[in-house]
């Protein structure tokens, strides 16, 4: 877990070209905000900010994930599972296929944690 939030954001910015979207999630409230997205990702029409990140992500997945991957994604992508993986390995990763622009593309979501003013934040990156 990164302890200096500003240093972590600087690192995230330098790596963000590898992601089609990045989010920051307040772990306590589950409020989230999109930090950066490609035009390809923006065309999916997903919310740029909101509440109840994990529940909202499950609903969004129904419209963009390849149907054969949906149940496995929902099983893996829970707050408890994400936090357990971060505690054990420093990062949570889930792989799936997405429908982007009418094309099925292999994708992954990577999540780690950082602190901002003593508050835990999840840093979420989506890659294709």
CATH of the domain at 107: 3.30.450
* pLDDT tens, residue by residue, 29-66: 999 999 888 888 888 888 899 999 999 999 999 989 99
Q: What's the pTM value of the predicted model, to 2 decimals?
A: 0.85
Instruction: Find where tokens 């999540």 sit.
Output: 111
- The total number of structural domains that make up the chain: 1
The pLDDT score that the predictor gives to residue 40 is 84
The pLDDT score that the predictor gives to residue 1 is 45
Model confidence at 17: pLDDT above 70: no
Q: Do residues 21 and 125 touch, judged by C-beta distance below 8 A?
A: yes
9 Cβ contact partners less than 8 Å away, ≥ 6 residues apart: 114
Instruction: Find where tokens 């990045």 sit.
Output: 22
Q: Distance from first CA to last CA of the chain, Å, rounded? A: 24
The pLDDT score that the predictor gives to residue 36 is 83
Between strands 49-50 and 32-37, the pairing is antiparallel
* pLDDT tens, residue by residue, 70-119: 999 999 999 999 999 999 998 999 999 998 888 899 999 999 888 877 88
The pLDDT score that the predictor gives to residue 53 is 96
Q: Which of 50, 25, 48 is nearest to 37 (CA)?
A: 48
What is the average pLDDT score of the chain? 86
The pLDDT score that the predictor gives to residue 11 is 57
Tell me which residue range forms the domain holding 98. Answer: 5-127
Model confidence at 14: pLDDT above 70: no
């Amino acid at each position: 877990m990164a302890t200096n939030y500003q240093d972590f954001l600087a690192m995230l910015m330098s790596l963000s070209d590898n992601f089609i979207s990045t989010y920051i999630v307040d772990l306590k409230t589950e409020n989230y905000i999109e930090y950066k997205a490609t035009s390809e990702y923006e065309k999916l029409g997903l919310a740029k900010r909101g509440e109840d990140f994990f529940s909202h992500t499950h609903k969004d997945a129904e419209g963009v994930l390849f149907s054969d991957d949906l149940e496995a994604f929902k099983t893996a992508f829970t707050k408890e599972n994400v936090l357990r993986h971060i505690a054990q390995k420093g990062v949570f990763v889930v792989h799936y296929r997405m429908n982007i622009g009418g094309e099925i593309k292999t994708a992954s979501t990577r999540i780690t944690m950082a602190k901002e003013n003593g508050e835990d934040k999840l840093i979420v990156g989506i890659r294709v």
